Structure formats: C-alpha cells, structure tokens
C-alpha cells in the first residue's frame, strides 16, 4: 500500500470515529440537553440573533455556556473540514468547502428539528460552516508544509 492510500485509509477511519462522536454529542448526550422526552419544536431563523444573545448576556449565561455554543459549534466542524479532502479523494476550493460544510450543517440542524432534539438554529449553521472552512484551511496548510519539507524547500 503506497503512502497516499495509507493516508486515505487512516483518514477514513478517523472520519468515521469523528462522525460517531459528533452524532453522539448532537443527538444523544444528555449532558448537552439531548433527550427524546416530549418537547416542542425550537428554531431560530434570524441570522446572528443567538450569537449576539450569547455575547450580550455572557456574564449571565456563564463562560461555559458561551464557550460551548460559540466556540463549540465552530470546533465541532473543524474535523469535517480537515477530513473532506482526504476522505473524498478530491480537491476542493474554498467555495466548495464552504458549501459542503453548510450542507452538512443544514442536514444536522434539520434532523435536530425533526427529532426535537436540540434546535434548528441558523447561527449554528454559520458557526459550523466557519469551522468546516477553518478545517479545510488547516488541511491545505498542513499539505503545503509537508510538501515543502519533502521537497527540501524553505521553512515557513
């Protein structure tokens, strides 16, 4: 097995593990308020409404709630961005990476709405998409650095 095939195989395994962990936290983690108890539909369709609320009321909500909502939604999708290129086996431009991250985030939000586990929040889509984009940028930076090291080029 050549180097690229090994890298892709490892990426697929790590991506599968990441997806399992993500699904657990998004749909089953009771510590995150996820339960299938009788709930009503919760949604926010106003861009930046919840992000602003978390910033304005940060003192009242507490740093943990603010961190989990804002940074957590970004961080949760960084691995998605890191893995989409090696798992798919094709190159993505920034626009394609943003669309894929947004599509996956919308899919997650719709499932949360339909199952009444969590809520559909357009701000989560914005934050998740930003995380996916950061992941793709990190992957491309890693590949660029690795290529320069392999070619004996100048250090960054």
pLDDT digits (tens, 9 = 90+) for 104-141: 999 999 999 998 888 899 999 999 999 999 999 999 99
What confidence tens digit (pLDDT) does each residue in 84-98 have? 999 988 887 889 989
Pairwise CA distance, residues 41 & 55, whole Å: 24
Show the tokens assigned to 67: 């961190």
Average pLDDT score over residue span 139-154: 83
Phi then psi for 151, rounded to 5 degrees?
-85, -5
Average pLDDT score over residue span 51-77: 96
The reported pLDDT for the residue numbered 156 is 46
Residues in CB range of 143: below 8 A, 6 or more apart: none
Average pLDDT score over residue span 11-24: 96
Residue 10 has pLDDT above 80, yes or no: yes
Pairwise CA distance, residues 63 & 54, whole Å: 10
Beta strands per DSSP E along the chain: 43-44, 120-121
The reported pLDDT for the residue numbered 148 is 85
Q: In Å, how far from its chain's centre is CA 29?
A: 17
């Amino acid at each position: 097995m050549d180097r690229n095939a090994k890298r892709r195989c490892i990426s697929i395994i790590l991506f599968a593990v990441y997806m399992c962990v993500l699904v657990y936290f998004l749909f089953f983690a009771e510590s995150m308020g996820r339960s299938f108890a009788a709930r009503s539909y919760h949604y926010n369709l106003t861009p930046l409404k919840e992000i602003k609320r978390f910033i304005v009321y940060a003192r009242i909500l507490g740093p943990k709630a603010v961190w989990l909502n804002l940074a957590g939604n970004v961080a949760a999708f960084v691995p998605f961005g890191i893995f989409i290129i090696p798992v798919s086996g094709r190159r993505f431009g920034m626009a394609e990476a943003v669309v894929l991250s947004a599509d996956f985030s919308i899919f997650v939000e719709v499932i949360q709405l339909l199952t009444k586990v969590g809520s559909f929040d357009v701000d989560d889509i914005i934050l998740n998409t930003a995380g996916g984009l950061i992941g793709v940028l990190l992957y491309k930076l890693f590949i660029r650095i690795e290529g320069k090291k392999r070619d004996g080029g100048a250090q960054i």
